Amino acid sequence: METLDGRVVVITGAHGGLGRVLVETFGNAKALVVPIDLEGDECFHADVSTPEGNQQMIDEALRRHDRLDILVLNAGRQLVASIATYPLAAWDGLMDLMAKGPFLAMQAAWPHLTRQPGGRIITVGSVLSLTAEAYKPAYVAAKHAVLGLTKVAALEGAPYGLTANAVAPGYMYTPIVEQQLADQMRLRNRTRDEVIASMIGSQPGERFVEPAEVARVILFLASAESSGITGACIPVDLGALAI
C-alpha cells in the first residue's frame, strides 16, 4: 500500500461513486483528505463549476491543513441527448464543471502545489477523453478538453517537480451511469438490460470497471512512486481503448 503520510489532498466529486472510494483509498494511505462535493455531510460544499467554488475549496484545504499537495479533480455529470436537441444550458453546465472547473482549480491551487517539489494533479477523464460516443457531445468535448489541460499543466509544472496526469476510466456502475439509462433506452430504442449489456460489451473484460480499480491508479499517480510519469493518460478500461 502506498503511503501518503500527512500529504494534503483535495478530492472533488467526493460524494459520488468513485469519489467515496477515492476518499477511503486516500484515507487508508494516511493522506489528509479534504472531500468536496455539492452533497454529503462528510464533504465541504463547493460548486466546482464556478470560480468562487474552486477558490473556496482551496481556501478550505489551507484553512484546515496550512498546505496543499495533491488535487484529484473528479467531479462530473452527464446529459445524454443528440447534438440537434442538446440544451445550451446543459452544454454550458457540463463544460463549466468538467473543463473550466479543473482549470479554475489548478489556477487557485497552483502557488501551493508548486511551493515544493512533489505536487500532484490527477484529473479524471474518461475513455471518452480519447474517443467518442453518440449523444454525449458536451461530455466528450469536456473530457477531451480536460486531457489537453492536463498536458499543459504537466509542461508548466515540470520545472517545479509538479506532475499532472489523467486517468481514463471505462464504464463503472455508479450514479452517473444509472442516471443515463432512461435516455439511452429512449435514444437507442433498447431495453435497460440491452443498454447495460452494450456498456459491458464495449469493454473486453466484459464487466464494469470497479471504482477501486480506478482509485488505486489515482493513488499511485499521487504517490512519490510515479515521479517519472507526467502528461500521461492512463486507461483503466478493461481493454476498451485497445479495440
Ligand X SMILES: NC(=O)c1ccc[n+]([C@@H]2O[C@H](COP(=O)([O-])OP(=O)(O)OC[C@H]3O[C@@H](n4cnc5c(N)ncnc54)[C@H](O)[C@@H]3O)[C@@H](O)[C@H]2O)c1
Residues annotated as part of the active site: 139
Out of 38, 62, 90, 232, which residue is the one contacting ligand X (CB under 6 A)? 38
Out of 1, 3, 6, 39, which residue is the one contacting ligand X (CB under 6 A)? 39
Q: How far is CA 88 from CA 37, 81, 137, 167, 177, in A?
A: 24, 11, 11, 28, 22
How far apart are the C-alpha atoms of 108 and 59, rounded to whole Å? 9
How far apart are the C-alpha atoms of 180 and 92, rounded to whole Å? 18
Interface segment toward ligand X; rule CB under 6 A; list 154-162, 174-182, 187-195, 226-234: 174-182
How far apart are the C-alpha atoms of 202 and 206, rounded to whole Å? 8
Q: Rounded to the nearest whole angstrom, what is the least distance from the CB of residue 134 to ligand X in the complex?
A: 16
- Residue 107 contacts residue 156 (beta carbons within 8 Å): no
Binding mask 200-239 for ligand X (x = CB under 6 A): ----------------------------------------
Grid coordinates in use for 189? 430504442
- For residues 3 and 198, which CB has a smaller minimum distance to ligand X in the complex? 198
Interface segment toward ligand X; rule CB under 6 A; list 3-11, 69-77, 158-166, 217-225: 69-77
Q: Does 100 bind ligand X (CB under 6 A)?
A: no
Out of 7, 11, 13, 162, which residue is the one contacting ligand X (CB under 6 A)? 13
- Residue 146 contacts residue 102 (beta carbons within 8 Å): yes
Out of 47, 91, 108, 217, which residue is the one contacting ligand X (CB under 6 A)? 47
> In this chain, which residue has its C-beta nearest to ligand X?
16
Grid coordinates in use for 230? 507526467
Which alpha helices (H) appear in 73-174, and where do they start and end?
88-95, 101-113, 137-157
CB atoms within 10 A of CB 243: 9
Site for ligand X, rule CB under 6 A = 12-13, 15-19, 37-39, 47-49, 74-77, 97, 124, 126, 169, 171-172, 174-177
